[in-house]
Amino acid sequence: MQHMPKHMLATIALILLSAQLNAQCLNTSQYPANAITPLTGGQTTTIHTCCWQTEFAVVTGIIPSASYTFIYGGGGWVTVREGAYDGPVVGQGDSPLTVEATTAQDLFAHWNTDSLCNTAQVCHASTVLMSNPGCDPPVASTSIINDCGAQQFSVEVEVQSLGDAPSVGLNWTVNNGAPSNLGGLQTGTYSIGPFPFGAIVDLVVMHAGNPGCNVAMNDLTNGGCAIVGCGPETYTYCYPNNAYLIQTFQGDQGYPLRITFTSGMVTNTGNDPLTIHDGFTPQDPVLFSGIGNNGDLTGITVTSTNPDHALTIRFTSNSSFSCTDGGLTPEWNYTVGCLDCEPASATVGEVETDCGAQGFSVLVNVTDMGSAEALQITNDAGLPPTDVNGTGVYTAGPFPIGTPVALVLENGENTLCSVSLGSFINTMCATIVDCEEPPLEQTYCYGEYDTEEWLYQSSGPAPLGIVFSAGTIENAAYDHLTIHDGTDQAAPILYDHVLGGTEQLAGLTVMGTGTSLFMRMTSDLSVSCASGSMTSWVWTVDCLDCETATATAGDVAIDCDAQSFTVPVNLMDMGSADTVLITNDAGLPPVEVTAAGSYMAGPFLAGVPVALGVMNAENVLCAAPLGTFLGTVCATPVDCEAPLQEHTYCYGEYDTEQWLYQSSGASPLGIVFSAGTIENAAYDHLTIYDGPDQAAPVLYDHVLNSTEQLAGLTVAGTGNVLYMRMTSDYSVSCASGAMTPWVWTVGCISCTDPQATFGTVADCPHNRYNVDVNVTGLGSGDDVLITDSWSGDTLSGIGLGNTVIGPIPMGVGVQVSVINGSNPFCSTVSEQLALPAAACVITACDLLQVEHCYADADTVWFIYTSGESVPVTIFFNSGQLLPGDQIRVFNGLTTDAQLVYAGNFGGDISGYSLTSNNPDNALLVQVVSDGTGSCATGEATPALHWSVGCGFTGLDLAGGTAVGLFPNPSTGMVQVMVPWPGIEVVRAEVFDPAGRKVQETRSLPHAGGAMLLDLGGLADGRYALRLSTTTRSVVTAVELRH
């Protein structure tokens, strides 16, 4: 025997250990989400039909010492853990894997592709089989006994062997309801039931000694009650919500049985599938299962193959969208009969269309009569059938043009041997356009899911043309319109609707090159003419059998007073027309003329291009363009040496107006609005151009989706011409009173800017600031105007020197403009100015003493912060507050912070203190007075005095005496630590925030300087507590929260 070297043995051991460690597979995703209980009695339990090799499954109801075999349908590696998904491994290996349970804890089966724990997202079924070697299970079988008359069934259970049990029991549930039991049974036959047709019975044969040897028999239900006969018979069924149908048919003449559906619907979602079984029961092989053609059962045919010549229909539906609730039509129609015949054979030839008779026929070539001596070609158009007495070619029809017709080669002896030939319709017949008659007028209002076609043919050799005068069509992504130069869609395209938005068809002209035009439209499920979203189409079709008039246009003539223009037209030849129209696209009526000569088209609005043409009044296809013409707007002169021009305008409905300004020299022009409003830009428009017309660059365009205030609008051009244009819709105007009139000035920008400097000046006690404007130069004017964006006020006649603008609230931004007093187009504008509230915050960690003699009708702010990461404390030392005056304290930098006190301390502020409790370590103090007396007017003395600092809590640092309260806040009983224990009688007075005394107590101090106050009779809130003797006093705050 040859021995391996030790180092090779060690290597092999490491490899085996590594493989074993790699096989400890652990997936983290559970599927299915519920735990699976294995069936007993040797039955395989499906865990799920689709598990990935990235998941684990949980198996519960574990019996110790039983064996469990796990199978993954696609093969692979199985790892079984106990107690938890990441618990100890009790078995691992290739599928199938059998493990023995050692405890009753759940088992966790992990699926992987190999022992290296690789994964794959591939769908395979997984199962588990429980085997219990500790017992011998009973043996039993079941039979279903139908009672077709009573529409119920029973289950006969034959117990053939008890296994190793002394007895067995039967335990069953109906539709997962409460269980029923029979116990102490020996071998024999037992009947349970009856149960209503359609009920699902789950049965367990119970092993009396070991539940692990129970035998489960699930999903027991009735078979169908067979309808016996060869028919053929036709049945109808309009199925309800929550339907359950089992219907069994059996032929009795030795022929196969056939079911054919001629109509009927089920939901196309697959929620209500139809199943047909090849036999008596729903357990027999499936011949058909599904929803047909997107829910349409028409044409479904099945034929039995079993020796009993039986077929069973099984159908269930959910709780909505059925035939009976109107959700599905038509109802089912199906024929059942024995296939005791042979079908005929036929082919369909051409569809022959007779446009003159407005009918079509179909040629059918019958090549084999099958087992029938006579047949009929039937139709669903209501016409008599065509008799067939032998093979040959037959003509079915004629049928009305435009109506689809379904044909059937019908066996009158047995419809099951009838043959569907299909559905047929004629080729399109052209609408003849008589070239000797007026143009053909056509209209159409298309609907949803619409498809329509038109074919036109001229009565002579002249080409055809189509002209639309009205109508719209939706975005080409949804609805389509195409016109072809020929008889069908294979002809060249003359027009195709390709716009990504709604298209206006009015004015569309399409000229063909031949005698036929084909037009086709389709639409989707929404937004149509029928729904009111689009407008009806109107068009004419005519022959191009005319001669076009000949004309030329002269020079544009401008009327500056009316801001309009006209165009002379010289009509030299009438062509073939008796009447010629000089047309325009400006919306004016055409000029109608009956003889050659000179005519005037217009007047048209100056500044707006207009397209002109001449057109045969009898045939719109004979038309010729004259060109596009534009009459420039006459400019209003602006004298740069004169005062600024002021203009006003109050616009109306359906209004269009324009203005053109030109300076007297080379100076640029500017426009300044001082008043006026304009409606939402979706309806009304105002645009100002840096030049003579709409082709110039835009300086201003009203684009707001709301009413715009024009006051303050300033527009400066780069040249000496400005053009302004407005339009409005049918409502909401100045003339109707909804908008205000416009006021604006126009002038030359021939001035120099004033000069100024701007500075902010804080008024911290009143939480505001001012702007100091120092005008250092007047520019080309004699004085200046000063405006600000905060107030909107304008100060006029301002000369050199300082002017104060304000006051402005702290933190609010403002821009100040200094404007040339003679010309508003020259100005100096400040940057955005603001003074933050932080500019007035006082840092007071070191002790700060403050004295304030408050005035009448005044509010003064004091904002303190420690400036460090410690709270700041304020201690009110002395001072009087009159009734109606108060101090407010906020726990933070602004009045948005918590208001922690508001009141007048009963008139005497002495002894009250408060410490901040916020991230900014800040307190805001306001002293608010009414107008009935104050310190400044001599009624309140002495002045208010307080101390601010951080790191102290009482008089020893702040100059007063501290009072201890516990608890504070309190629910009623408060223990007060009097600062002068055992000296004399102490009076305790309680004041509400309005300064009213609400309670008073007199008491000798208790031992240790403590006295107990009962404040339970007062409402929740903050109060001032003043302790006093005949020689001293102190005030502090107390809060009640019942």
What are the tokens at 837?
Answer: 């509230």
Expressed in angstroms, the distance from the first to the final Cα of the chain is 96
Contact 790, 812 (CB under 8 A): yes
d(CA 511, CA 458): 13
d(CA 450, CA 579): 40
- Band (pLDDT 50/70/90 cuts) for residue 304 is very high
**Chain centre to alpha carbon of residue 144:** 54
656-663/636-638 β-pairing: parallel
Please tell me whether residue 1040 adopts helix, strand or coil conformation. Answer: strand
Residue with tokens 């989706």: 705
794-798/801-809 β-pairing: unpaired
233-237/301-303 β-pairing: unpaired
Q: What is the DSSP letter of 298?
A: T
Q: What is the DSSP string of 334-391?
A: EEEEE--S---EEEEEEEEEETTTTEEEEEEEEEE-TT-S-EEEEESSSPPPEEE-SS
Paired strand residues for 111: 78
At 1029 the pLDDT is 77
The dihedral region occupied by 264, where left means phi > 0, alpha psi between -120 and 50, and beta the remainder, is left
Please give the residue that has the higher pLDDT: either 598 or 131. 598
At 320 the pLDDT is 82
Nearest-5° Cα angle at 365, 362 to 367: 160
Contact 438, 621 (CB under 8 A): no
Whether the upstream peptide bond of residue 211 has omega within 30° of 0, thus cis, is no
**Chain centre to alpha carbon of residue 658:** 43
In the predicted model, is pLDDT for residue 16 greater than 50? no
> Which among 938, 910, 931 has a CA at the least distance from the CA of 1027?
910
In the predicted model, is pLDDT for residue 13 greater than 70? no
* pLDDT (tens digit per residue) in 315-347: 888 888 889 888 888 899 999 988 888 889 999
At 41 the pLDDT is 66
* pLDDT (tens digit per residue) in 421-440: 888 888 778 888 999 888 89
Contact 598, 617 (CB under 8 A): no
d(CA 402, CA 355): 11
841-843/859-865 β-pairing: parallel
Positive/negative CA dihedral, 773, 774, 776, 780: positive
At 133 the pLDDT is 63
Residue with tokens 């400066």: 716
Residue with tokens 């975005």: 475
Q: What is the DSSP letter of 536?
A: P
Residue with tokens 């007199």: 1002
Whether the upstream peptide bond of residue 400 has omega within 30° of 0, thus cis, is no
Q: What is the DSSP string of 615-671?
A: EESS-TTSEEEEEEE-PPPPPEEE-TTSPPEEEEE---TT-EEEEEEEESSS--EEE
Contact 504, 435 (CB under 8 A): no
d(CA 108, CA 822): 92
At 1009 the pLDDT is 59
Contact 513, 485 (CB under 8 A): yes
d(CA 938, CA 933): 8
Rg of the Cα atoms in the chain:
50
Average pLDDT of the residues of the chain: 87
* pLDDT (tens digit per residue) in 789-815: 888 888 999 999 999 999 999 989 999
What are the tokens at 716?
Answer: 């400066």
d(CA 935, CA 856): 8
d(CA 279, CA 313): 10
**Chain centre to alpha carbon of residue 680:** 26
Residues 6 or more apart in contact with residue 713 via CB below 8 angstroms: 671, 672, 673, 700
Nearest-5° Cα angle at 927, 924 to 928: 125
d(CA 1027, CA 627): 102
At 11 the pLDDT is 31
* pLDDT (tens digit per residue) in 389-431: 999 999 999 998 877 898 999 988 887 788 888 888 887 788 8
Q: What is the DSSP string of 466-478?
A: EEEEE-EE--TTT
Residue with tokens 């008139």: 907
d(CA 108, CA 25): 11
CA distances from 798 to 164, 759, 774, 782, 804 (A): 119, 17, 11, 9, 11
What are the tokens at 848?
Answer: 């700060």
CA dihedral (271, 272, 276, 280) in degrees, to 10, reads 110
Please give the average per-residue pLDDT across 548-559, as a whole number: 92
* pLDDT (tens digit per residue) in 859-872: 999 999 988 888 88
- Band (pLDDT 50/70/90 cuts) for residue 22 is very low
* pLDDT (tens digit per residue) in 565-606: 999 999 999 999 999 999 998 889 999 999 999 999 999 988
At 1007 the pLDDT is 44
Contact 253, 338 (CB under 8 A): yes
At 801 the pLDDT is 94
Please give the average per-residue pLDDT across 463-474, as a whole number: 93
In the predicted model, is pLDDT for residue 746 greater than 60? yes
Residues 6 or more apart in contact with residue 859 via CB below 8 angstroms: 766, 926, 927, 928, 929
In the predicted model, is pLDDT for residue 730 greater than 90? no
Q: What is the DSSP letter of 435?
A: T
- Band (pLDDT 50/70/90 cuts) for residue 2 is very low
Please give the average per-residue pLDDT across 494-516, as a whole number: 89
At 960 the pLDDT is 43
Positive/negative CA dihedral, 501, 505, 509, 513: positive
d(CA 162, CA 45): 23
Question: What DSSP element (H or E) covers 1015?
Answer: none
* pLDDT (tens digit per residue) in 212-226: 788 888 778 887 678
d(CA 43, CA 129): 6
Contact 199, 151 (CB under 8 A): no
Residue type present at position 153: F
Please give the average per-residue pLDDT across 289-318, as a whole number: 88
At 857 the pLDDT is 93
Contact 405, 425 (CB under 8 A): yes
At 50 the pLDDT is 82
What are the tokens at 485?
Answer: 């130069």
d(CA 773, CA 786): 9
At 933 the pLDDT is 92
Q: What is the DSSP letter of 416?
A: G
In the predicted model, is pLDDT for residue 648 greater than 90? yes
d(CA 35, CA 688): 75
In the predicted model, is pLDDT for residue 770 greater than 90? yes
- Band (pLDDT 50/70/90 cuts) for residue 15 is very low
Residue with tokens 């107008």: 931
At 687 the pLDDT is 96
In the predicted model, is pLDDT for residue 132 greater than 80? no
- Band (pLDDT 50/70/90 cuts) for residue 1008 is very low
At 197 the pLDDT is 84
CA distances from 659 to 274, 326, 630, 651, 725 (A): 76, 65, 16, 13, 6
